[in-house]
Structures are given as structure tokens and as C-alpha cells.
Amino acid sequence: MLNLSMKQLRYFDALARLGHFGRAAEDCAISQPALSVQIREMEAAVGGALVERSARQIRLTALGAAFAPRVREILRAVDELGHLARSARGPLTGPMRLGVIPTIAPYLLPGLVRECAVTFAGLDLLPREAVTGKLVEDLIEARLDAAIMALPISEPALFEEPLFEEDFVLVRPAGDAGLPVPSAEALPTMRLLLLEEGHCFRDQALAFCKPGPTQGRSVMEGSSLSTLVQMVGVGIGVTLLPEIALPVETRSAQVNLVRLPPPVPGRRVGLVWRRSSPLGAQLRAFGALIARLGAAQRDAARAMMG
């Protein structure tokens, strides 16, 4: 019988996913030499090489490629056993690996961490910010327990719990304050500042604006909503913001906020987890807390706009 530790399996899984000793070591929060030692010990135990090493990258051997999906399945099963044990203890306790998309994380996480310290005193919240595609992948592979994202995700292996809805607000330079509110037809002709590829909020903005091939060309792509708002403030163009971001992103920017005419663009925010997770009941209770916080922040933003 192979004498492999769970630690070795997790290290090998990270190496197989990331294809690089340095990145895998960072993902596992250990040093690169320590990771290399564990992989060599694993190879000695199985009696064959699992990876081909080179100066720049690694490749899985045939044995390593055969091992990788089986190791991943073992890790998923072990995680589910841990969740099953946690579900029997009642409210959520222990580590909770929570993914959050970047257009929600800065605005919801601070309040959520504070509230969890009171409502779920035994919970060790471990948030991770990433774009939707990465969060979905990590949920399916059991590297996350749940994630806060814009719905729908439409992935059969995942369950979606709607939490709250919010509108998108047009952000334009302060000097435009006296101008009429642009119609849905006029908006695609404006210079729209967008998040970079991979952000679901970018896709939602484009779905509403529907710029033609020669209309509304984006003059800038940013990695954060904060960057886009600051660029609007100096007159480069306009952008859209979700309501929960308004108090944080517009407090120091010289911008004008405008509610768009119907149909008003918006999104539904939800909590997503694996259908196979035994923590469903506890995650619903956790989601109810997020729903309350998100709705309160949305309502505060609406009050700010008047």
C-alpha cells in the first residue's frame, strides 16, 4: 500500500494545476525547496517520476498525468468528509474558504468579516478575490467552499442562492451634471470605460450598452472600479458602477452620478456552492447574513443619491 500523506497529495495537486514549482509553493504557503522535497518523496513512494523538471516549467509524466485527476478526486472526497462532520456540529465553524468577485469584495467583505465575528463566532473566514471563471473552477475542484458572485452561473454541479439585487449607476464627469440623462440608445455612443477581460461586470455593462462596431469605443480598460472612476473624474469618459460600490468609489472623485432610465441595468448577487456539499443548510444561513448586509449597503447608496 502506498504511504502518501494528504500534505503530499495537496502539494502535487497544486503543482499539477499550476505547472510551476514557485507558483505551487506560493499557493501552498511553503517554500519552493520544501515543496520539491515532498514531491521527490512522493515519487520515491510511488516508484516513478511524476513530473519532468526544466529550468522554466514542469510537465507531468504519463504516470503524473494519470495520478492528477485521481489525486484531485481524493482531495475533494476528504474535503466533503470534513464538511459532513462540520454539518453535524450545527452552525458553521472552522475554516471557510470564501471566494468573492472583485466588484463585490472591497465593499461587502469588511462588514461581513465584522458580522461573522459576532454571528458565527467559531468561523474562520478565509476570503479569496478572483474573477468569476476562476471562482467557478475552484468551487468545482473543492478549493473553495462557497463564493459570492453575480448570477446566473448556470453550472450543473453548483447550487445558486440569490441574495440581493442592485442597479448600475452611470458615472460621468462632474461638469456633465447639468446635461440631460442619456437614453439607453444614446449611451452606446459615449466613451465607455470598462474593466479588463475576465470580469463579469464588464460583460454586464456591454450587454446593456450594446455598442456597435464604430460606436462607444472603450478608451481604457482597468483592473478595478476605483481606477475607472478616477479616470471619469478627469474627463476621459463614463462608466457604470454597482450601487454597493458608490459610497467607497465616489467619495473623493469629481464625478456626477446619474440613474439611467428604464430598463435600468443591474445584477443579482448570490452565494454559490457545490450541490454535493453537506453544508447546504449552514450556507443558507450564512447567505442570509450576506443578503442583509448587501441590501443595507445598496439602500444606503440609494439614500446617498436621493
**Is residue 175 pLDDT above 70, yes or no?**
yes
Percentage of the chain lying above the pLDDT 70 cut? 92
Task: Report pLDDT for 216.
Answer: 47
Task: Report pLDDT for 134.
Answer: 93
Q: How confident is the model at residue 269 (pLDDT cuts 50, 70, 90)?
A: very high
Averaged pLDDT for residues 91-114: 91
Give the other-Cβ count within 10 Å of 168's Cβ: 21
Listed range (24-38, 126-140, 185-199, 213-227) with the worst mean pLDDT: 213-227
**Is residue 53 pLDDT above 50, yes or no?**
yes
Q: List beta partners, residue 267.
A: 166
Residue pLDDT, tens place only, 148-157: 999 999 999 9
**Is residue 64 pLDDT above 70, yes or no?**
yes
Opening angle at CA 24, ends 19 and 26, nearest 5: 145
Task: Report the chain's mean pLDDT, rounded to a whole number.
Answer: 86
Task: Report pLDDT for 257.
Answer: 93
Listed range (91-95, 120-124, 265-269) with the worst mean pLDDT: 91-95
pTM score, whole prediction: 0.75
Averaged pLDDT for residues 105-113: 95
Answer whether 145's CB lies under 8 Å from 276's CB. no
Domains of the chain, CATH where assigned: 6-84 (1.10.10.10), 89-164+267-305 (3.40.190.10), 168-266 (3.40.190.10)
Give the residue with greater pLDDT, 143 vs 105: 105
Q: How confident is the model at residue 102 (pLDDT cuts 50, 70, 90)?
A: very high
Task: Report pLDDT for 57.
Answer: 72
Opening angle at CA 231, ends 226 and 237, nearest 5: 120
Listed range (158-162, 191-195, 204-208, 298-302) with the worst mean pLDDT: 204-208
**Is residue 235 pLDDT above 60, yes or no?**
yes
Q: How confident is the model at residue 16 (pLDDT cuts 50, 70, 90)?
A: confident
φ, ψ (nearest 5 deg) of residue 62: -60, -40
Element containing residue 62 per DSSP (H, E): helix 62-88
Task: Report pLDDT for 157.
Answer: 92
How do beta strands 255-258 and 158-173 pair? antiparallel
Task: Report pLDDT for 214.
Answer: 46
